[in-house]
Structure 1
Amino acid sequence: MNILVIGRGGREHCLVKKIVESPRVDTVYAAPGNAGMTEAELVSISETDVAELIRFAKTNQVAWTVVGPEVPLMNGIVNQFREAGLAIFGPTEEAARIEGSKAFAKDIMKKYDIPTAKYESFSSSDEAKTYVKDQGAPIVIKADGLAAGKGVTVATSVEEAIEAIDIIMEQSQFGDAGKEVVIEEFLEGEEFSLMAFVHGRNVYPLLPSQDHKRIFDGDTGPNTGGMGAYAPVPHLSHGVIETAIREILEPTANALEKENRSFTGILYAGCIQTQDGPKVIEFNARFGDPETEVVLPLLKNDLIQVLEDVQSGKDPQLTWKDGFCAGVVVSSAGYPGEYQKGNLLPDIKGSHSVIPIYAGVRKEDNQLVSDGGRVFLLSAQGETLEETIESIYNTLQESQVPSTFFYRRDIARKAIRTSVSGYKYTK
């Protein structure tokens, strides 16, 4: 069969690499893809040009379309593909609102007693600022809509919170996404990501993972789309993950069905383990990035078979490799602020087990050069988390990454120091 993957980043490259493993697959198309996706045939159609994507899928007898990024989902690509009689994996526009509006997601959680931080929503910046002054700091300020992972400020002072409100609402840095803000209490604890294949009330969880969102070592500096990740999470117990599935993922799937927004696709819960148990920080309506790059390589199943099973209401019986997978993102220097494009990528000189997954790249004079903020992720698997991450950092050191690029040097270090021996997650 022929498969179409929609998107251009590292998450989509990882999806392509996983799908081509299937013996049932002939050709994988990526629209628009990136120049590093040598496993796929690239199609120069934008992720948001739904009419042209439908035409392409019909012309090329595409059996399944898999949507990577959030914007096409919010714009109703699944609804339109289904109306055209095409098989597509992802939530409808109505279900995808769980990611598209943080205020909507918080209201759902409040209505159905899904554990999350206390919050208020505001469409007036003056009212938002008054609320912040009353509450004090630390406090969390979020643009309501999609902001590419950058619309969140964890403010340590009232002044910082007010500045964040100005950036979102007065300066409109995130456009329409900032017409409303959600202000939350600050939660302390260990963050983790938990994704699941969902179809209606059926929930099939993937391995837990942990992302590193801040640009600099020690979790300092501004938020990014993610500077690295690893899976599973050795310092969170099996009980914590089971509680998150039972109290967060399953009730959310049920809630969306009750609200006539039945969810099919990947439901992503960004969670935090607090003294009161796991709570939701955010929901996404698709595979996380870079979490996908460290979770999918550990999945033993044929991904296409999984999609077919899930969509037909059948348990896909997910099975996992032993050990760990980790990834370190190499970004353009200056990201998430201003950065240069067109820099020649370093020649990766590591072993065959250390694999680059490409994101912001293009070809120039038959060589890969940078074309985005997050350029590529270097991925590896190993028996222990320590040996896995060391193989990545050794490769980066041997490859002599130039100063035009930047990467964190402490991905997974905290987990290695605090891990629970003998950890193994099984559903």
Structure 2
Amino acid sequence: MKILLIGNGGREHALAWSLSQSRHQPQLYFAQGNPGMQALGQRLDIEMSDLNGLLLFAEREQIDLTIVGPELPLSLGIVDRFREKGLKIFGPDQAGAQMESSKVFAKDLMAEANIPTAGYRFCTTQAMALQSLDEFQAPYVIKEDGLAAGKGVTIAQNRHGAELAIQAAFQKEMPVVIEEFMQGQELSILAFCDGKTVLPCIAAQDYKKAGEGNTGPNTGGMGAYAPVPLASQALIDRVQQDVLKPTLQALQAKGINYRGILYAGLMISPAGEPKVVEFNARFGDPETQVVLPLLNEDLVDLILATVEGKLDQYAATGLQFKPNQCAITVVLTAAGYPGPYESGKPISIPAHVSNDVHIFHAGTRVLPDQSQVTAGGRVLNITALGQTLEEARAKAYEIADQIHFEGKYYRRDIAAEPAKALMAEEAV
């Protein structure tokens, strides 16, 4: 079996690793991949936005399955192009990808389907946006209506900050969605959808803020862990009934055959009420780096069932995950991220790590002398598994401490509070 995986980040490295564990033993191709993925398959010099190049390669090499990692090719309509040629590809079509590429599309769909979410106002002009602030109270949530790589959201503590965020968005010619601020704990649920059936994975919790204690600007994600103590089976069942199923039905009503991952970013209120913060149309990053290592299914079989509309074969039991296992990922970033940062810093990585630790590359490059240097804001993801979250944390941070490059930064509080909560529960 030949599989083409599109993307080059930590999410794609985790996907490549999981695909390599399949009973199918697929031959993997990466467009463009990253240096950490080299041992798992062949890297291609085709940009993820080059739909013609990707399609030509898939046809020429008779690729059996293409998997799209990032949101950009989905929003450009890569799935439509591949399906027109009769090629199997995992991901929603361009219409379905609007769940991520258009904030207002997703909000309007939720409003029509009575899916719980924050109140909002869509503003197409700066004057309209500034006037609409009167309808909300601080803190103000300002979202750019377009792809923003996880960084297009501003939570302004006062009106002046909200006005600055609105001005910045319209300078980029981005309309905005203004939302009411929601309080609670965030939860990420990745769900496989085949157009008819939707199956959630275990919940993960990610850390979007750059600074410890959830301070500083939003990033693409500084770390994640799973499972989440907050996410009881009763809560997952409620999300399935109140969010995932009605969303899939609302998409069907619009004539959208949504096949791929539906990522629900949720806010769980102090009273335990789930509301949707955002939808994404692909695997989350860095949630994928903790969910997939815990998956007890063959990922190739699961993705094929999704593409072929056969997910109902998993419906009776639900997706299976490793029992009594926890996973954490810690993201190592370049100094300055998510703002301007320097690349080309030499990286020193331990030659050997234990089998329950994975170093997923996100922003690295190999020089002609085979040495590795930084090549992105998020450089490496350290994922570790353990029987407890505390054990997994200790393993991940031990390796994070042993990796060196100039300006290395990472949050030291990933999963710290849940780990304490788990330990307290175990003590009882």
TM (norm. structure 2) is 0.94
Secondary structure of the residue that 1:168 maps to in structure 2?
helix
Among residues 386, 391, 415, which one is paired with 1:387 in the alignment?
391
1:235 aligns with 2:230: yes
- Letter matched to residue 375 of structure 2: D
1:355 aligns with 2:358: yes
Among residues 255, 260, 267, which one is paired with 1:265 in the alignment?
260
Contact 2:121 2:177 in 1 (8 A): yes
Contact 1:380 1:388 in 2 (8 A): yes
- Letter matched to residue 263 of structure 1: Y
Among residues 309, 312, 315, which one is paired with 1:313 in the alignment?
309
Contact 2:363 2:379 in 1 (8 A): yes
Following superposition of structure 1 onto structure 2, how do residues 123-162 of structure 1 map, counting pairs within 5 Å? 123-162=124-163
Q: How far off is 1:402 after superposition?
A: 4.3
For structure 1, which segment, 320-329 or 124-133, has the greater mean C-alpha deviation from structure 2 after superposition? 124-133
1:165 aligns with 2:169: no
- Letter matched to residue 392 of structure 1: A
Secondary structure of the residue that 2:425 maps to in structure 1?
coil
- Letter matched to residue 104 of structure 1: F
Q: How far off is 1:282 after superposition?
A: 0.2
Q: State the match for 2:370 in structure 1.
A: 366
Q: State the match for 2:97 in structure 1.
A: 96
Contact 1:36 1:368 in 2 (8 A): no
Q: State the match for 1:81 in structure 2.
A: 82
Q: State the match for 1:412 in structure 2.
A: 415
Among residues 275, 282, 298, which one is paired with 1:279 in the alignment?
275
Contact 2:89 2:307 in 1 (8 A): no
Q: State the match for 1:298 in structure 2.
A: 294
Contact 2:262 2:280 in 1 (8 A): yes
How far apart, in 2, do the equivalents of 1:147 and 1:400 lie? Answer: 29
What is the aligned-residue RMSD (CA, Å)?
1.5
Contact 1:79 1:93 in 2 (8 A): yes
Q: State the match for 1:5 in structure 2.
A: 5
Q: State the match for 1:52 in structure 2.
A: 53
Contact 1:211 1:291 in 2 (8 A): yes
1:16 aligns with 2:16: yes
How far apart, in 1, do the equivalents of 2:259 and 2:135 lie? Answer: 40
Question: 5+ unaligned residues in a row in structure 2: which ranges?
Answer: none
- Letter matched to residue 374 of structure 1: R
Question: 5+ unaligned residues in a row in structure 1: which ranges?
Answer: 423-427
Contact 1:69 1:286 in 2 (8 A): yes
How far apart, in 2, do the equivalents of 1:162 and 1:270 lie? Answer: 25
Q: State the match for 1:425 in structure 2.
A: none
Give the percent of matched residue pairs that are identical in Structure 1 and Structure 2. 44
Post-superposition Cα deviations, 1:147-188, rounded to whole Å, max 9, x if no partner, equal: 11111011111111111111111x31xxx5x1x100000000
Contact 1:306 1:316 in 2 (8 A): no
Q: How far off is 1:312 after superposition?
A: 2.9
- Letter matched to residue 30 of structure 2: A
Q: How far off is 1:405 after superposition?
A: 1.3
How far apart, in 1, do the equivalents of 2:133 and 2:412 lie? Answer: 35
How far apart, in 1, do the equivalents of 2:400 and 2:91 lie? Answer: 35
How far apart, in 1, do the equivalents of 2:58 and 2:307 lie? Answer: 19
How far apart, in 1, do the equivalents of 2:194 and 2:364 lie? Answer: 34
Q: How far off is 1:63 after superposition?
A: 0.5
Post-superposition Cα deviations, 1:385-409, rounded to whole Å, max 9, x if no partner, equal: 1110111112222x16344211000
- Letter matched to residue 232 of structure 1: P
Contact 2:206 2:286 in 1 (8 A): yes
Number of residues paired by the alignment?
A: 415
Q: How far off is 1:410 after superposition?
A: 0.3
How far apart, in 1, do the equivalents of 2:286 and 2:418 lie? Answer: 17
Q: Kindly tell me: are residues 261 and 374 of structure 1, through their superposed partners in 2, closer, same or farther at Cα, counting changes over 3 Å?
A: same
For structure 1, which segment, 306-315 or 238-247, has the greater mean C-alpha deviation from structure 2 after superposition? 306-315
How far apart, in 2, do the equivalents of 1:136 and 1:27 lie? Answer: 54
Contact 1:196 1:203 in 2 (8 A): yes
Post-superposition Cα deviations, 1:327-365, rounded to whole Å, max 9, x if no partner, equal: 000011100011110011132367313221001111012
Q: How far off is 1:22 after superposition?
A: 1.4
Following superposition of structure 1 onto structure 2, how do residues 112-131 of structure 1 map, counting pairs within 5 Å? 112-131=113-132
* 4+ residue runs over 6 A deviation: none
Q: How far off is 1:316 after superposition?
A: 4.9
Q: State the match for 1:37 in structure 2.
A: 37
How far apart, in 1, do the equivalents of 2:46 and 2:359 lie? Answer: 24
Contact 1:31 1:43 in 2 (8 A): yes
1:196 aligns with 2:178: no
Contact 2:88 2:307 in 1 (8 A): no
For structure 1, which segment, 263-272 or 297-306, has the greater mean C-alpha deviation from structure 2 after superposition? 297-306
Q: How far off is 1:301 after superposition?
A: 1.2
1:216 aligns with 2:220: no
